[in-house]
Amino acid sequence: AITPGELLCLGSSLAFSGLFYYLYRKKARVVARIQEAPKLQVDDDLPALVSAAEGRCLPYVALEGIVLPAKAVLTSHYHEGLQGVIQKLLLKEHRLIWNSLARSW
């Protein structure tokens, strides 16, 4: 006979498995969209392309071109010859929603 404790463990295990599979599939779709992103060159045509896009926004694109560092190039401590730069500007929009339970935005 199955005890109530075993049923509880089985049910919670199935619930967690379902939750983690849902999160995995959601992230896998995002990764697939990023991998299928169109590759654009950083040139004089890029501003016109962005202006012509719906909402003046390109959701996922890979930009290819020469990047100049603002101050100094970062070098990797782990891979010899690998260099990078830090993105200078990041625009993040947050949508405010009133939470009536917590009485906050």
DSSP state of 52: H
Average pLDDT over every residue of 55-63: 82
Phi and psi angles of residue 34, each rounded to the nearest 5 degrees, phi first:
-70, -40
**What's the pTM value of the predicted model, to 2 decimals?**
0.47
Q: Which pLDDT belongs to residue 90? A: 63
Domain coordinates in residue numbering, the chain: 4-84
Burial annotation 10-33 (CB, 10 A radius, 16+ → b, else e) = eeeeeeeeeeeeeeeeeeeeeeee
Judge whether residue 105 has pLDDT over 80.
Answer: no
